[in-house]
Amino acid sequence: MRELMDVCAADPRPQGVRDAAIIALLYGTGMRKSESVDIDLDQVDFEARSLQVLGKGNRQLIKYAPPWAFEKLQAWLDLRRQDLPAGAEDDPFLFNRIRRGSHITRARITKHAIYYIARQRGAQVGVKIMPHDFRRAFITRVIEEHDLSIAQKLAHHANIQTTAIYDRRDDNERRRAVDRFDY
């Protein structure tokens, strides 16, 4: 993750700042690609570090993000607002399309663009990345650091078996967990 953030930070174009914010939200919240595309600015609560998203099955969901993800998002919004014409209102959505030549458009980013960003930034660090890999990494990390139940709630899975699919811990780790039990 740090390598991806470093690659984005090294990119002097607006894409670097925007891509860092997108990756930070995908990884930091576990949101789906479509959720990141559809989210609007008025669905973001910077104080509570939460985002209201329309999830799978048209369910309204609350996603929480770590402070560093909101810092990346704020950096993107600050940069985007610098380029607004005098007197123009900010765009209602979070992420804009950026044309060649680093021109920030007034158009919402697409799902295909999120896919392209993940692939491109992954290639820059030598890893094949798909947008869902950020969600997978988020859920796996929550399982490792907390438990399956919290991971299910944060992933907004209706069935805990869906969340269990993301449990990548091996037998040795399970054995070590049992070895810690005292009598």
* Residues classed as catalytic: 32, 56, 132, 135, 157, 166
CB atoms within 10 A of CB 39: 22
| Separation between Cα atoms, residue 173 and residue 14, nearest integer Å | 42
Closest by CA to 5, choosing from 16, 112, 46, 113, is: 16
Q: What is the dihedral of CA 74, 79, 85, 91, to 10 degrees?
A: -40
As a residue count, the chain comes to 183
DSSP element (H, E) containing 157: none
| Separation between Cα atoms, residue 40 and residue 96, nearest integer Å | 11
